[in-house]
Amino acid sequence: MSSVVSNESAIVTAAEPLSEAPTSAPLTNGIPRWIDAIVALVGLLVAAPVIALCVASIALTSGLPVLFWQQRVGRYGRTFTMVKLRTMKPSHEGPQVTRRGDQRITRLGKFLRLTKLDELPALWNVLRGEMSLVGPRPEVPRYVDLDNALWKTILQVRPGMTDPVTIWLRHEEQLLARAGGDSENFYLNQLQPEKLTGYVEYLRHRTWRSDVRVLWRTLTAVVGHH
């Protein structure tokens, strides 16, 4: 019998937790954790009908499972299971980066990705304290280098559902498509280093006000589809 949960990752490798010692240069605080939790709870309650509709649509158009779970690296290098709506065909093959035109993405999945509706279940991760509303996007273990100084800094904070770098690279799938067959290599050697640098720069100067601005910019970008 098919499960209602799918793991869209191909290979995951456990990451060894980092020390909880502070970084060489202190990071500034964003939206307080208690506000994250309240917003996530309210968001889940408000979005419940939308999530239910998406779940039914996925089941009707591409069958079960309707959710996917995937191991991501969180604060201090600890892995956690991130939850999303399934946007791809159930498979354990292929790279762990997705480019535009990827044949694994379902027709409905394209819409869910464009509108970011597939991200709504991740509010559960925010409620559990595994993620924040704003913060560096959580990466899969195989793409995290715990010996990299940038990663050591980034992993001192909770990963987020959105961040300014993600908004800036909101057409990432198109960039990966231009890389041709080796999209994974292009991601690791071109895109990811830029993302890591951007994450650290933001974290050094973030405030709760800047986090709110990121949330607003995310909303306007999604609504405008650009």
Q: Please give the distance of CA 160 from its chain centroid, rounded to a whole number.
A: 7
Report residue 64 as tokens: 């079960």
* Domain locations in the chain as residue ranges: 5-224
H/E stretch holding 33 reads helix 33-62
pLDDT in tens, 56-107: 999 999 888 999 899 999 999 999 999 999 998 876 565 656 655 567 889 9
Q: With both helix axes pointing from N to C terminus, report the angle between 33-62 and 107-115 in degrees, rounded to the nearest 10.
A: 160
> Which tokens go with 185?
């290599």
Question: Which residue do the tokens 């793991």 mark?
Answer: 7
Cβ proximity of 123 and 40 under 8 Å: yes
Residue bearing the bigger pLDDT, 175 or 195: 195
Q: Which residues pair with 67 in a beta bridge?
A: 5, 85
| Per-residue pLDDT tens digits for 17-59 | 565 544 455 688 899 999 999 999 999 999 999 999 999 999 9
What whole-number distance in Å separates Cα of residue 165 and Cα of residue 61? 33
Asked which of 27-31, 59-63, 138-142, 179-183 is least confident by mean pLDDT, the reply is 179-183
pTM: 0.84
Burial class, 169, CB count within 10 angstroms (exposed 0-12 / middle 13-18 / buried 19+):
middle
Question: Do 183 and 177 form a contact (C-beta atoms < 8 A)?
Answer: yes
Q: From the CA atom positions of the chain, what is the Rg in Å?
A: 17
Counts for the chain of helices (H) and strands (E), in that order: 9, 5
Q: Check whether 153 has a pLDDT greater than 90.
A: yes
Specify which residues 6 forms β-bridges with: 68
End-to-end CA distance of the chain: give it in Å, rounded.
40
Q: Report how far residue 217's alpha carbon sits from residue 57's, in angstroms, rounded to the nearest whole number.
A: 28
H/E stretch holding 216? helix 208-224
d(CA 92, CA 115): 25
